[in-house]
Structure 1
């Protein structure tokens, strides 16, 4: 089966390596279709595109947008017009909302006696800041041993540093992607199954479902494929690669059945 990766992150958001290094990891894994989908920014996309062109990997301009409906209810967009001023203004506002959220998280941690400062966090995030940067700062300050432990002990719901996401709604995320000429896909839907609303999302313009994802079980993939058939949606694949030190899957690329790959090529490249 073809191997693709339409869900990856660089150090322009919460990944741990450069856009070029992310593409090289995908290339090493045999990926033939690639997208860099950093959170709420497209600033690393052209750098990734240049490497893809050099190695003749099919490329589509991507992004991942968070929503306020759940910490993990996200939508990826592809084939974006990167020069769309309204879309870039929307992403800039999302990044500012993120900064405000992180400042509140830091204030709550400091009030709880945790060793952390704003400088500890923001120096790690020249573009899009996230809770991952807070967790990395906690690790660097010796508060926790790993990024994952930082989340578990301080940053998830119910913990002292938790602040709800300040993103847009799911429907708004989809519509912003569509207004930028993009293809809208729900990311890692298996981990937010209790928040599914495919009737509303498809009405807003949803194009696809990330079916092939590392955390999805066989049963979940079958359920998602059934939904794709029901609503006439594409099936996509992505690893959610964050780099070797991101604490997640350590290799880029996911296999996808040829029939779904062919539909993606037709949608993205008119092939």
Structure 2
């Protein structure tokens, strides 16, 4: 592991947590138990399961942690999709009520919007002369709840020979500057923050460095974010230092995570689980906030 990958000067006495990972429940390639195993192998104290708009991977991850004798703590989480100023804004929710039916229903509505977006994006690709179909993309996942995202579309494009890599698919077609980028109406990030907090969870802004919009980040901090993802593979060193200053100024929890999505070919996507982390005291702060919120709601 390179020094660049070791976020936050890890020592033998310093427990770490990867607070941003995905599984096959959304657009990752690993089963939940594999994320837990990888976290244990990396020597982590905790790993969060934060799939896009779904909590379906959490029970299996908790079961896997139990089988390992709780060597790794599993933090139940979710990454909520929202839209602001024409681009995706993602808000991470931690210690969310993953068995609450009302919360699950809200997430189901978000996945319906994701499905509509997939249809629009594939239609745009077809207009560009690319022989891609909705059926071809959706065959990549089994089961009734097909939580499909842009990486699945990118995989299909690779198989069709349109692009050579996930990165190329996003750069040319699927990213926010891409030829086929579309975004139907979604909830705002403020609504995502409210959804998470009203459910008793803790709201953290995911990978703020991706948005290239510091004004929006500051607006969301003022609105009521609980934390900000400082250590992420897409945040530059300068951005990390800036987010640390903002977090300290506003009393926010500083989190970090690899945004691990499994492997696309031979390379981990975005980064290998455990290479971007936060100190374990971030977990303790998240748990404390969630506990207070739960008690206030009782």
Query: Scaled by the length of structure 1, what TM-score is found?
Result: 0.90
Q: Distance in 2 between matches of 1:131 and 1:90?
A: 21
The aligned residue for residue 247 of structure 1 is 269
CA offset at residue 136 of structure 1?
0.7
Q: Distance in 2 between matches of 1:255 and 1:6?
A: 7
1:174 aligns with 2:208: no
Listed as ranges, the gaps of 5+ residues in structure 2 are: 1-13, 293-298
1:160 aligns with 2:173: no
Mapping of residues 87-102 of structure 1, within 5 Å = 87-102=103-118
Q: Evaluate the alpha carbon distance shift between residue 97 and residue 259 of structure 1 in structure 2; reply closer, same or farther with a 3 A threshold.
A: closer
The aligned residue for residue 139 of structure 2 is 123
Q: Is the 8 A contact 2:94 2:286 kept in 1?
A: no
**Pick aligned residue for 1:107 from 101, 123, 134:** 123
**Pick aligned residue for 2:244 from 225, 233, 249:** 225
Query: 1:227-256 CA distances to partner (integer Å, 9 max, x unpaired)?
Result: 112211111111101112253213335343
**Pick aligned residue for 1:62 from 68, 73, 77:** 77
Q: Is the 8 A contact 1:6 1:237 kept in 2?
A: yes
CA RMSD, aligned part only? 2.3
Deviates more, 1:20-29 or 1:245-254: 245-254
Query: Scaled by the length of structure 2, what TM-score is found?
Result: 0.82
Q: Distance in 2 between matches of 1:121 and 1:195?
A: 34
Q: Evaluate the alpha carbon distance shift between residue 152 and residue 214 of structure 1 in structure 2; reply closer, same or farther with a 3 A threshold.
A: closer
Q: Distance in 2 between matches of 1:254 and 1:239?
A: 5
Query: 1:155-189 CA distances to partner (integer Å, 9 max, x unpaired)?
Result: 22343321125431010000000121101101111
Structure 1 residue matching 2:49: 3-state secondary structure: coil
CA offset at residue 199 of structure 1?
5.7
Structure 1 residue matching 2:172: 3-state secondary structure: helix
Q: Distance in 2 between matches of 1:268 and 1:29?
A: 27
Q: How many residues align?
A: 270
The aligned residue for residue 278 of structure 2 is 256
Q: Evaluate the alpha carbon distance shift between residue 116 and residue 259 of structure 1 in structure 2; reply closer, same or farther with a 3 A threshold.
A: closer
Q: Evaluate the alpha carbon distance shift between residue 225 and residue 84 of structure 1 in structure 2; reply closer, same or farther with a 3 A threshold.
A: same
Bigger share in strand: 2
Q: Is the 8 A contact 2:21 2:273 kept in 1?
A: no
